[in-house]
Amino acid sequence: MRKKSILVNITININKLLGRLKEMKVLVTGANGYLGQGIVKSILDLGNDVVAADFKVENIDSRANRVECDLFDIQNPYLYFGQPDVLLHLAWRDGFVHYSSAHIDDLPKHYNFINKIVESGCKHIAIMGSMHEIGFFEGSVNEKTPCHPTTPYGIGKNALRDLAEMVCKKNNIVFQWLRGYYIVGNSKYGSSIFSKITAAVQEGKSEFPFTLGQNQYDFIDYDEFCNQVAATVSQNNVQGIINICSGHPEKLADRVERFIKENNYNIKLQYGAFPDRPYDSKAIWGDSIKIDKIMKTEKEY
C-alpha cells in the first residue's frame, strides 16, 4: 500500500508539473513600454509564447511575435492575434500623468477591446491596475479595501477593473487584476522618480529637487515586478485582485537614498524643493498574501 501511495503522489506531482510547463500563448498589449519590455522577457523565460502588440515594437524581445498595430482598430482581436490563451493588457496612455484626459477618453476603447476579445473566445484576462485606484488610504491594501480614487488616472483604472470583472463573470472566464505599486528601476526611459534621477545623472547634474520624502510606499524592484506579473498570468489558480508588490512600506527618502547608493550615482537630493502631492497617502502598501502564494508555487516548479 505504501508503494502504491508513493506512486500516486509521484504521478500527481508529475501531472502538476506538466500542466504548469504546458506552453501558453500570451498576448501582451503595450509591450513596447517600460513595463512591457521586461514583462515580455519574463513570460518568455517561463517557456511561454508571447504575441507582443504595440504602436512600435523595436524594443521588444526578439523571441516574441511582435505585432505593430492600433489595438482599438482591430475588429476581432482574438483571431487577429492567433487565438491567445491569455490576454495581458498593459496598454495605457499617460500612466504617470495622473490628470491627463486620456484616462477618461480612452476608457470606452479599453472596455470595447476587452469585451471583443472575450466574446470571440479568450478565456483568461489579466489587466495591469494601479494602487492609485485606492485613493487616499493609510495601511495595508488587500482585495477588499474600498476604492475612492481622486485623479482621472485612478478613476479610469478603477472603472476599467469593474467593467472587465463584469465581462469575465458574465462569460465565466479567468479574471486577474494586477494592482501595481512603486517600481524601482534604473532605466532613464521610465517616468518614475528613479528613472528621472537616472536621467539627471546621465545629463551630468549633481543635485535633484525632491520632496521631504517622509511618505511610506511599497517599493518593488523592476525585475521582481516583471517576474511576479509573469508568474501570475502563467497560472489561473489565484484570481481576482492580486497585488504586485513587496508587502511592506518604506520611506520614500530612504529608498531613494539607497537607490542612489546602489547605482553609485554622484547626485544629492534637494530636500523640500517640492511639496508632497496632496492626494498621496502617508503610508500605503500591498497585502502580499496572494502574490507570495503564486511565487512560492513558481519556485517549487
What pLDDT is attached to residue 6?
47
Give the per-residue pLDDT at 280. Answer: 80
**pLDDT interval class at 298 (50, 70, 90):** confident
Of the candidates 150, 189, 154, the residue with the CA atom closest to the CA atom of residue 35: 189
How much is the average pLDDT of 181-187? 90
Convert the pLDDT of each residue in 48-67 to its tens digit. Answer: 999 999 999 999 999 999 99
* Arithmetic mean of pLDDT, 170-189: 93
Average pLDDT over residues 135-139: 94
Instruction: Dump pLDDT digits (tens) for 7-33.
Output: 434 434 444 444 454 689 999 999 999
If pLDDT is split at 50, 70 and 90, which confidence band does 96 have? confident
Confidence (pLDDT) at 189: 73
Residue count of the chain = 301
Instruction: Using alpha carbons only, give the angle 186, 224, 269 rounded to the nearest 5 degrees.
Output: 35
pTM for the full predicted model: 0.90
Q: Is 279 known to be catalytic?
A: no
* Residue tagged active-site, from 78, 153, 182, 217: 153
| pLDDT confidence of residue 267 | 97
Condensed to tens digits (0 to 9), the pLDDT of residues 226-264 reads: 999 999 999 999 999 999 999 999 999 999 999 999 999
